Amino acid sequence: MSSREVVVLSVGGVRFVTRASTLQQFPDSRLARMLNGDDQEFKLVNGEFFVDRDGALFSYIMDFLRTLQVSLPTDFSDYQRLQREAEFYGLCPLADLLSQEHLLKPRLEILEVRFSLQEMQAFFRIFCSCNTTIEALAEQITVFTGQQSGRGWNSPFPSQKPLVPLPLERPSHHDLVFQCGTEYSAGDQFVARYVSIKPDNRKLINGTNVLGLLVDTLLRNGFRLISTRTVASEENVECYSFERMKRAAGLTIVVNQTPGSSGVAQARRNQVQKGK
């Protein structure tokens, strides 16, 4: 059979159409041997290979053969069943990867926003159990400072004076700190701090508005608000707690070598080292 020919499989009543070369990614697998008629488990009926196995799980097998990656939904739970299917098809390296559920399962990510409103200033501290989320937020949030005349944070935006971006405070890899509002400088001059959160282009000085935009940004990024509480009433500190399910680092495993069992095995070892 030519590698350019189209192959049709009916797996548990679900029809799949692919190239022979896709099924031959791993020459020792039963799918590759099927094309040569060397495996009686696969029946050729009216030009289609019939397989009495789980069709829904086979879609993940096909995705792996097409992309050489393991990509599963965050709510996926049938690791053992999919591993059993991979073993049936003779894809032992894939079965080996699936046996490492601690690498593949998504993990719960916790994020807290502490918000304090003091006179004309608002203070924010964001803590997250995943430092890559903090890194991403640090790239989205920018604080600008400049001089303005007038009183309070409802004063007009000082378009006549350029604003200077300020670096965010990073007490640790898991949190960041910033503030907005105005503070007295001299005479009727105030130092103003504005906050911008991408992709929104506005520069906000009102702490309540910044909090609203921050919460909206987190919700759009997959977090859900699970609780609000007052941490210190005398200091007017409020805490907003969020959570989301985050894909584990080993969920997508890319094979960079020539297709074959040895290449997949090497990719697995690299992922295990990253997970330590």
Per-residue model confidence as pLDDT tens for the chain (276 residues): 444 589 999 999 999 999 999 998 888 899 998 988 777 788 888 889 999 999 999 999 999 999 887 877 777 888 889 999 999 999 988 888 888 766 666 678 999 999 998 888 999 999 999 898 999 999 999 999 987 665 554 554 544 568 899 889 999 999 999 999 988 766 667 788 999 999 998 999 999 999 999 999 999 999 999 999 998 777 789 999 999 977 654 444 444 444 444 444 444 433 433 333
Together in a domain, 36 and 88? yes
pLDDT of residue 78: 87
CA 251 to chain centre: 10
- CATH number for position 64: 3.30.710.10
Report DSSP state, residue 174. Answer: T
Burial of 159 (0-12, 13-18, 19+ CB in 10 A): exposed
- CATH number for position 139: 3.30.1410.10
Together in a domain, 242 and 112? yes
Please count the other Cβ atoms lying within 10 Å of the Cβ belonging to residue 209. Answer: 15
Per DSSP, the three-state class of 136 is: helix
- In total, the chain counts a number of residues equal to 276
In this structure, is residue 260 part of a structural domain?
Answer: no
Q: What is the pLDDT of residues 135-175, one digit of tens each?
A: 999 999 999 998 766 555 455 454 456 889 988 999 999 99
pTM above 0.75, yes or no: no
Together in a domain, 67 and 178? no
State the DSSP string of 48-92.
EEEE-S-HHHHHHHHHHHHHSS----TT---HHHHHHHHHHTT-H
The answer to whether the CB of 18 falls within 8 A of the CB of 62 is: yes
pLDDT of residue 4: 56
Together in a domain, 30 and 156? no
* Strand-pair partners of 196: 142
pLDDT of residue 251: 40
Question: Which residue range forms the structural domain that includes residue 86?
Answer: 6-104
pLDDT of residue 70: 80
